[in-house]
A and B are shown apart, each in its own frame.
Chain A
Amino acid sequence: MKQKIQSMREAIEAKLSSVATTAELREIRSVYLSRTGEIPALMKQLGSLPKEERPEAGKYINEFKNWATERIEECEATLAAKELAERYEREAVDITMPAESRPMGALHPVTLVRDELVRIFSGMGFVVYDGREIEDDYHNFTALNQPEDHPARDKQDTFYVTDDILLRTHTSPGQIHMLETTKPPFKAVMPGRVFRCDDDATHAPMFHQLEGLVIDKGLSLCDLHGLLDTLAKAMFSSDTKTRFRPSYFPFTEPSVEVDVSCMECGGKGCRLCKGTGWIEILGGGVVNRRVIENCGLDPDEWTGLAFGVGMERIAMLKYGLNNIHLFYDGDVRILSQFH
């Protein structure tokens, strides 16, 4: 028996020393250790030994079985480690190969500007009002204190549908709708499409504005400055400066044009700001009391601030688009740049 075990031990050693795969090893384990394997078979042979030899032989076989199990497991661990190492090596990828993905689309740059403006103003308590695009003369002009003979009412500048119905020329009619339907105090921004009879290198017949309106008590020009200063800093950078200069809109008085320090040169003067250090971005003012009156509110009780910004203009300044017509081109090579 001892001899048998000794030769089996040697055979196992020999096999283990040349084993190359875990599959071969499984085979070895099965040959010797499975229920029907050779080592359990030795156990079965115990019965044929003289009774007094059995305990020692049993112990011996057990030791042998433990040894074999240990050796095989040891070998198994080594092999597994080796195979894993090989697998890792085999599976090493060329990390410079192209990615596989479903590319994302993108929002339109005007939507990006709209969303950013809305986000800024939402934080200041502004609701968002989506107004009509086709308006009547009253909301687009008359209620906004636009004089009867104001040039903007010309067929030359405004698209008319009938004598009284027109494509809105600005988002300002939204002011009237808000005033007509909302109990003050309130704050609202009104983004949307506007239309003017203009189509050349720097004008498109359709573009986007965002109107802002605050109706409350005791508002002043300084409050407007604060509001627009916050806007400019959030929109461009925290060191952006704003300045007011006089302007004219029939629906505000005083009216101002708002310039921001040039985002390109920081105010030193460059090509973008034509050497002035300032860039015009929007117009605004203190709401004309006639507008408030027109909407049935008492202008001695309620005051207002209003402003309007051209969203393509902001997008051009922010993203460096240099031609307004690119916004309506639809080429995905343009659109895909605005993630």
Chain B
Amino acid sequence: MYLPLSWLRELVELDGIELKTIEDGLFSCGLEVEEKAPVAPDISGVYVGRVKSIERHPDSDHMFVCIVDCGERGSDIQIVTGAQNVHAGDIVPAALDGAHVYGRRKGDDSRAPEVATIKNGKLRGIASNGMLCSGEELGIDDNWYEGASVNGIMMLPKDAPLGADVKTVLGLDDEVWDISVTANLPHCQHVYGVARELAALLDRPLHTPDLSYTPVSGRDAGISIRVDAPDLCPRYIGHYVYDVEIKKSPELIRRRLHMCGINAINTIVDITNYVLVEMGQPMHAFDLNNVTDHSIIVRRAEQDEKIVTLDEREFTLSPENLVICDAARPVALAGIMGGLNSEITDNTTEVLFEAAKFVRGNIRRTSRSLGQSSDSSHRFEKGVDAYTTGIAMQRALHLIEEFGCGKVGEAHIDVYAEADRKQPCIATTFRAINDVLGIEVPTETITAILSRMNYTLNIDGDSITATPPAYREDIEGSAADLAEDVIKMYGYDHIFPRFMVNASITAGGHNRVQMNTAAFKNCLCAQGFFETINYSFYSTVELDLLRLAEDAPERDAVRILNPLSEKYAIMRTTLVPSLLNVLSTNSKRGNENVRVYEIANIFMPQGNSLPIEKKRFCFALYGKGESFFTAKGVLEELASKFGLSLSYERTTRPFLHPGATAAVKCGKTEVGFFGQLSYEIAGDLDIAQSVFVGELDFDALLDLFSTKLTYAPVSPYRDIHRDLAVVAPESMTCGEIEAVVRSACKSVSEVRLFDIYRGGQVPEGHKSMAFALTFTPEDKELMPEDADKFMAKILKSLEYRLGLKIRS
């Protein structure tokens, strides 16, 4: 919110207090000054001067030579001006040597004009020691100062002291602070509210705006008001004003509205805006002549009912929206904007003022769903209290009187559903308040602070009963409410760090699953993998990329009702597309060797219940030297780290190479798959190299992890190594041979294929496979003769069970 300092100073006595103190004070109340904007930061060195004499310039037919009296700044300053409206005796702004003013704006260039520096010089041979200024050169127009928009030099008030800084005279030395207010402090969302808070904090006198008015009897407009939706409109006040004179508001009002970013329009509209900024209560004024039967009905809109708002936009409504209607039609979109059909015009003579409390949720929803908002709706969204609704109406009526722009009628209708609502009374103890804070704020201090914050207090020893002021609707009713208010005023710097002196000792740290997850990630890190984090949502296009069938389980995804875009519309059912996109990004950027993974949830819909969340581990890689077997090696390393024994079975996936895809099993449980990405999809992703990708059920893996470490005795005898070469048909797998070798001899501890050879003497359709076998002795030393025996047994078995012959 915008806070003009001069306005603030009018409402709270701040003389002798430094701006820094005010800023810090606001900060400690939760009102952070986000920006401090001086009204005229670029103007300087311009003083009040009286034109003593004026003569035509000897060498110019349009310029004049003036002698200006600027009091103590110089009583005979010669200034040449080109303006045609200057006369002897005029009081004018004189920019003297070194002054800064705005240059002339060119055409309709809407950018801020450039700042010019005034220097002593000569104009056609005549010395000119300054410049007389127009309103434009001072950056102001009629809205700031009557007469500032004139074409020529701006005239200052006759009584302005000569030599005084015009910024002071014109109120240009003001500053507007932009303040952010936390959501729980709607009572501070306006100038009066901030003043009230500061008055309490700094213990300074508060000047409540004048709320007095005297109704003038004589005319009764026969106004009726009915609220059909009290749930959405807890309070609605209407007041009749007649003999309205639509004119310009006083200068001070226009200036203040301007400083708050609001255009002055006319007295009636300006009053509603002024009260909004000052008291925080949005108001509306209906032209009563256009309110059918002078009757107001507050109700939910009918389905497809239409309204055209002041800005000439038409909206089609539903019962979700609250409208203000007359006897025939909607005349305002409640709390958001008035209707065009009842707007204040220059011909308005009778007005119905509205001050109401509309519940914030409904205003917000309507505003968002219709895409229509206003200062009023923004204010209602933050919350308006019913008490202020009442005093704001009084304030508006006072201003009618003050501006002399109408007669305040007697007709005052107040429909107040919660008229007998009582503020929650907090019954607690000083001890309880200090217990929340952890410090000892003296009882008297607490009492003084709460009194200054307008609590009604009842104190009995340590007991305290506090009733918050009517404008506080944020109070829930506990000692914590009071503690919060007390510490704001007492100062958060009194809170000191103390390390939970009363807290119990608790055992902390990761549980088994979390420890294993961390170890799993470290194991991947050691294998050159980079962890990635990808969005939990993507689009169905990603599933199309994987060539998944229409009825594939991955297509059954949790759908977001209101996604940012179709790109992020479904929750992931597989991590594979995310990782493939990471590879694609890297490949496009020329990164040559990439190993990446992610461990994250996938989501499975469960009708109207919460979806199932399951952790998946997905890894993907490409690069020099990478192959199906390096990918398999990744899994084997992990398996050995976590005591798993994995097996692999040929399988297929629509997105993987039909001949290079394996299901990964641990015992009887299938835990996932991996393989080479199909060339079609690699092409789609612009990756020229072979890509390998796998996805495993991480929850299942975690269940299978064995991290129990048990010592197994090491044989004191040496291993013996032998090589074995066999010629096998192409269709025979390494695994089949290995299985036979292992079952033939229990001393075999390792069977490792180290070479495959085709061609030469190997018959067509066959391959020669060379294995390195390791025999590990158990209880006695193995002799070469023992190994020979083992080999013979193995060979016999290979021949008998697989029909294999030894390659000679």
Contacts and interface: CB of A to CB of B under 8 A. Distances in A.
Co-complex (A, B): yes
Nearest to B505: A125
Interface footprint category on B: 35 or more
Contacts of B585: 329-331
A21 interface: no
Interface in A87-126: 102-108, 110-111, 115, 118, 121-126
Interface in A281-337: 286, 288-290, 327-333, 335-336
B500 A221 contact: no
Contacts of A115: 518
B527 A105 contact: yes
A53 B518 CA distance: 88
Contacts of A133: 536, 601, 603, 613
Contacts of B498: 220, 222-223, 225-226
B535 A205 contact: yes
Given A220-B438, A253-B481, A254-B483, A227 B533 contact: no
Contacts of A331: 585-586, 589, 591
Nearest to A223: B500
A157 to B, nearest CB: 10
Contact of B610 (A134, A242, A253, A288): A134
Interface string B517-559: 0100110111111111111110000000000000000000011
A19 interface: no
B416 interface: no
Contacts of B501: 223
B39 interface: no
Nearest to A334: B530
A85 B361 CA distance: 89
B635 to A, nearest CB: 16
Interface stretch (A2-10, A35-43, A193-201): A193-201
Interface in B464-487: 476, 478, 480-481, 483-484, 487
Interface stretch (A56-64, A66-74, A148-156): A148-156
A289 B500 CA distance: 19
Contacts of A217: 502
A45 to B, nearest CB: 44
B682 interface: no
Contacts of A219: 500, 502-503
Contact of A244 (B492, B499, B509, B522): B492
B29 interface: yes
A32 interface: no
A159 B560 contact: yes
Contacts of B783: none
A214 B503 CA distance: 9
B500 A227 contact: yes
B358 to A, nearest CB: 11
B514 A130 contact: yes
Q: Is the interface of A mostly helix, strand, loop or mixed?
A: mixed
A229 B497 contact: yes
A121 B514 CA distance: 15
Contacts of B571: 134, 161
Contacts of B533: 108, 110-111, 208, 327-328
Given A161-B611, A256-B492, A330-B585, A221 B438 contact: yes
Interface stretch (B40-48, B150-158, B179-187): B179-187
A218 interface: yes
B435 interface: yes
B360 interface: yes
A332 B528 contact: no
A245 B27 contact: yes
A262 interface: no
A313 to B, nearest CB: 15
A132 interface: yes
B476 A290 contact: yes
A187 B503 CA distance: 10
A167 interface: yes
Contact of B525 (A106, A150, A255): A106
Contacts of A104: 525-526, 528
A216 B536 contact: no
Nearest to B521: A107
Interface string B179-213: 00011110000000000000000000000000000
Interface string B96-137: 000000000000000000000000000000000000000000
Given A133-B601, A328-B535, A125 B507 contact: yes
A142 interface: no
A332 B586 contact: yes
Nearest to A186: B506
Contact of A248 (B27, B185, B535): B185
Contacts, number: 256
A105 B524 CA distance: 7
B217 interface: no
Nearest to B568: A205
Contacts of A167: 536, 560
Contacts of B438: 220-223
A247 interface: yes
B670 to A, nearest CB: 25
Contacts of B560: 159-161, 167
B145 to A, nearest CB: 34
Given A134-B558, A185-B503, A221-B438, A335 B531 contact: yes
Contact of B495 (A118, A195, A221, A290): A221
Nearest to A290: B476
B618 interface: no
B659 interface: no
Contacts of A328: 533-535
Given A154-B368, A227-B499, A247 B30 contact: yes
B436 interface: yes
A222 B480 contact: no
Contacts of B381: 151
Interface centre among B364, B365, B480, B559 (most CB of A within 10 A): B480
Nearest to A195: B536
Nearest to A163: B561
Contact of A221 (B436, B505, B613): B436
A244 B491 CA distance: 10
B499 A223 contact: yes
A165 interface: yes
Nearest to A187: B506
A216 B502 contact: yes
A134 B603 contact: yes
A230 interface: yes
B1 interface: no
A290 B535 CA distance: 34
Contacts of B608: 162, 164-165
A162 B503 CA distance: 41
A243 B508 contact: no
Contacts of B714: none
Contact of B586 (A150, A214, A247, A330): A330
A311 B655 CA distance: 35
B497 A225 contact: yes
B511 interface: yes
A115 B511 CA distance: 14
Contact of B480 (A165, A186, A286, A335): A286
A206 interface: yes
Given A159-B560, A223-B438, A335 B532 contact: yes
B499 A230 contact: yes
Contacts of B611: 134, 161, 165
B800 interface: no
B510 A154 contact: no
19 contacts: A102-B527, A103-B528, A104-B525, A126-B509, A128-B514, A134-B613, A154-B364, A185-B503, A205-B537, A206-B536, A218-B502, A221-B483, A243-B492, A254-B487, A288-B480, A328-B534, A331-B591, A332-B591, A332-B594
Given A134-B558, A221-B436, 10 more contacts: A104-B525, A104-B526, A107-B525, A125-B506, A185-B506, A214-B503, A222-B497, A228-B497, A242-B497, A246-B487
Can you list the 3 inter-chain pairs with the closest CB atoms, starting with the nearest? A149-B361, A220-B438, A222-B438
